[in-house]
Amino acid sequence: MKNKIWLVTGISSGLGKALAKSVIEKGDFVIGTFRHESQVVEFNKKNLKNAKAILLDITDEKNIDNSIDKIISEYGKIDVLVNNAGVGFVGAIEETSMQEVRSVFEPNLFGTIKLTQSILPFMRKEKKGHIVQISSHGGIKGFAGFGIYNASKFAVEGFSEALAQEIAPLGIKVSIVEPGPFRTKFAGNGLGLAKNKIDDYSQTAGAFRTKLKSVDGKQEGDPVKAAKAIIGLVNSENPSLRLPLGKVALMTIGMKLDSVKSDLETNRKVAENAVYE
C-alpha cells in the first residue's frame, strides 16, 4: 500500500473528525478510534474503502498494545500516529480534587505516552514514521482556571520534545500541534469542570470558566483548515517540531516567549552569580 496509513485517536468529533475526513479525502488510509462500540459500528457501516474504525480506550494499556498488534498484523505498518484523544478541564488548582487531576492526566498524558511507546518498535523497524501530538497553546502558556489541563499539555510538550531528539537519528519525526480556541465541542458538554467551587477564585478561575463556556461555538479556529495544515505538515520534507494554529495561539505563545525572555534578562546577573568561582 503506497498511501500512508494514519492512526488517529478520537475521531468522533472536533479536530479528530475533521482530520480523519480530510485524510480520507486525500486518499490515504485512516484507522480512527472511538470510545463506544456503537460509534465503531456506525462508522464501519459506511464501508469506506480507505478507512476503518476501531474501539480503543487510551487509558487501558492492554487495550492499546492489543490494538497496535492487530493493526500491524492486518496492515503491516502505521506511517502516522496522531495522538488527538483527550479531555478538557476547568477549575482552580485548589478547587480540583486529586481524582479529577488523575482523570485528566490518564488520557491526556499517560495514554498519549503509552500509545507512543507501543508504536515506536514498529516505526524503528521501518526506520520511518511521524508522530503528531495534539497539544494546545495551553501547552505553552498557563491560564488561571486551566492549570490542570495546562499541566497535562505542558507534560506532553516536554516528553515529545525529548522524544524528537531521541528518535530523529532513527528516521522518525515528531510534531507538536498547538491549536488555540477552535470551533469544536471542547468548550461544550464534554468540558470537565471541578465539582468544588471556592468564591475567592470567582474573579480568576471562575471568570475563565464563564468565558470559555460563553465562546462555545464562536471560536475563531476552523477544524477543517487545521486538518489541512496538519496534513501539510506531515507531508513536508522538513516538518517543524511545533505547529501553532490560529491567531489566538500566535498571540498567547508570543506573550509567553516575551515573559520568559523578560524574566531571563531581569535575573541574568543573579543566575550568573549562582555558580562556583
**Catalytic pick from 4, 118, 149, 152?**
149
Q: Is 135 a catalytic residue?
A: yes
**Catalytic pick from 153, 173, 175, 201?**
153
> Do 233 and 179 touch, CB atoms closer than 8 A?
no
Give residue 148's Cα distance to chain centre. Answer: 15
DSSP sequence for 75-86: HS--SEEEE---
Please report, in angstroms and rounded to a whole number, the separation of the first and last CA atoms in the chain.
62
**Catalytic pick from 12, 22, 152, 175?**
12
**CB-facing half-sphere around the CA of 118: CA atoms within 13 A:** 23
Beta bridge partners of 29: 5
Cell digits for 33? 478510534
Place of cell 471560536: 219
> Do 145 and 90 touch, CB atoms closer than 8 A?
yes
- CA dist., res. 94 & res. 6, Å (int): 40
Place of cell 480534587: 97
Query: Crossing angle of helices 147-167/112-126, nearest 10°?
Result: 10
> Do 114 and 58 touch, CB atoms closer than 8 A?
yes
**Catalytic pick from 135, 136, 152, 160?**
135
- CA dist., res. 104 & res. 107, Å (int): 6
Q: Is 247 a catalytic residue?
A: no
Annotated active-site positions, please? Answer: 12, 135, 149, 153
